[in-house]
Amino acid sequence: MTIYANFPEGPVNWERLLAERTNNMKSSAIRELLKITALPDIISFAGGMPAPELFPVREIEEACHHLLHYEPQKALQYSTTEGYRPLREYLAASLAKYGIHHEADNIQITTGSQQALDLLGKTFIDPGATILTGCPTYLGAIQAWRAYQTRFLTVPLDAAGMQVERIEEIIKKDTPRFIYVLPNFHNPAGTTMPAARRRRLVEIARQHDLIIVEDDPYGALRYEKENIIPIAALAPERTIYLGTFSKTMSPGLRIGWIVAPAEIIQRLVMAKQGSDLHSSTFDQMIVNDVAQRGILKVHINKLCAAYKERRDTMVTALKKYWPEDCHWDQPEGGLFLWAQVPPQINTTDFMQTALENKVAYVPGVNFYPYADGGFDAMRLNFSNAQPAMITAGIKRLGVALKKELAT
């Protein structure tokens, strides 16, 4: 910065030239936190990262060899914005098993689900327009849509996810561009929305002609009970469904997808063209190769067994080491547990103590777009650390919490 200060006219005044929307852009608290938690001796419950030792490395390596040997000219070339056709056909067939019956033409491949969230912002949100979300909500969605100068209408969650029966009261104020829901193993709350509530949400959306964005990165990672019908299966005409291979295969490959009615897909394709032309051809073909060979299904079973063990380890340690008046619900799947501590502890302030004890989590307030809740909550990830580390980390937090409460 300072090296330019020596020019006779002085440094450039960038501020006056920046787009107004940059005022709304904030660096993600989690990305910032991950810089600290990447230090080797920290036990991190902060990120949403899969277990690195479980990545299907050999299978991906085989796919690379195969593709570079047999289809290098395709794999290394530009491709269509909609995405690699065989992968879209695979997705259409596998979503049908969950009751989502859309053609490959209704599927847009994205550079992770995060890009899908951004494309939705670009396509639907005018400055000042509202979107409706449960609260707490996914931090990356807040970050993506803030850049489009949205206003958030928020609906509180309970143990069954977004309290959809409150929506009608809230939309009297304004018609949201869409309703954002995370029905399976909510990030950060860990909740799952039962079928009856999903049906009620669809009824409300139909009555008021609203659209629903169903974000489902964790749906395949269920550790108990039966799958619940997706909202996209209940209301295919008004649901935009988001999926990703980040949690089931590898987040580094950055491959996700959007399922939506054809007229929405056309708009999203145009939005994506200006962004990145298309998602990496090579990565799409790798994902397709691993998925089509049937390896993914086996891999997901392996992940479910490992993550169930880690979730159980975390719950056991919480019961054993944490003060009595803490609260959490056991998630049926996914990667996160939302823990509530006694109200005299502010989890943002307590983070300093946690880091001194070499443990990290994400303070709850970060999941509230207007920072008006979650002060006594924290999000704990249980997929990334191995069981012994989970026990050690939860114990350290428990000891520190008890000490803090005693003072």
Ligand X SMILES: Cc1ncc(COP(=O)(O)O)c(C=O)c1O
* Cβ neighbours around 31 below 10 Å, total: 12
Whole-angstrom Cα distance, residue 262 to residue 260? 6
Residue with tokens 């490395």: 57
250 contacts ligand X (rule: CB under 6 A): no
Residues 3-22 that bind ligand X (CB under 6 A): none
Q: Least distance (Å) from ligand X to the CB of residue 36?
A: 18
Q: Least distance (Å) from ligand X to the CB of residue 342?
A: 28
* Cβ neighbours around 355 below 10 Å, total: 16
Residue 258, amino acid: I
Q: Which stretch binds ligand X (CB under 6 A): 112-120, 265-273, 294-302, 384-392?
A: 112-120
Residue 88, amino acid: R
Q: Least distance (Å) from ligand X to the CB of residue 28?
A: 11
Q: Which residues have C-beta within 8 Å of that of residue 69, sequence separation ≥ 6?
A: none
Residues 121-160 that bind ligand X (CB under 6 A): 138, 140
- Residue 222 is classified by DSSP as B
Please select the residue that binds ligand X; options are 136, 161, 183, 251, rule is CB under 6 A.
251
Q: What angle do CA 315, 297, 272 make, to 5 degrees?
A: 95
376 contacts ligand X (rule: CB under 6 A): no
215 contacts ligand X (rule: CB under 6 A): yes
Q: Which stretch binds ligand X (CB under 6 A): 4-12, 109-117, 149-157, 358-366?
A: 109-117
48 contacts ligand X (rule: CB under 6 A): yes
Please select the residue that binds ligand X; options are 50, 56, 217, 374, rule is CB under 6 A.
217
Whole-angstrom Cα distance, residue 115 to residue 173? 29
Whole-angstrom Cα distance, residue 368 to residue 373? 6
Whole-angstrom Cα distance, residue 94 to residue 241? 14
182 contacts ligand X (rule: CB under 6 A): yes
Cβ proximity to ligand X, 243 vs 398, nearer residue:
243
- Return residues touching ligand X (CB under 6 A): 48, 112-114, 138, 140, 182, 187, 215, 217, 244, 246, 251, 256
